[in-house]
Amino acid sequence: MHVVLLVSPALAGALRGETPSAPGADVVRRLVHEARAALRPTFVDTRDPTLRTWFAMDLPDDEDPEPLLRGLRSLPDVSAAYVKPPAELPG
């Protein structure tokens, strides 16, 4: 399943490895590791400051996303964390 994450610019810089660690960066990394996922920027080569704050990860199908989402949502520098619904064909 696909998880989407929106974070503050300071946290985004730390997660991208561009700035020194920001509050919450180590917690995000730990939560992602515990969920057996890999965090990646959604927009890799953009310079747009808004797009740079979006991240994504794919969780194994047998992983319960709720502990990860609860932990991420509890952080002040996380604006959104959710499971992206699967795409559906128009019916």
pLDDT in tens, 22-47: 889 999 999 999 999 999 999 999 99
Instruction: Sketch the domain layout of the chain as residue ranges.
Output: 2-83
| CATH number for the domain whose boundaries are 2-83 | 3.30.70
Model confidence over 7-16: pLDDT tens digits?
999 999 999 9
- For residue 52, the model assigns a pLDDT of 97
DSSP 75: S
- For residue 72, the model assigns a pLDDT of 98
Q: What DSSP element (H or E) covers 70?
A: helix 66-73
Average pLDDT over residues 42-56: 96
Residue the block writes with tokens 């927009």: 43
- For residue 39, the model assigns a pLDDT of 96
Assess contact for 67 and 39: CB atoms under 8 A: no
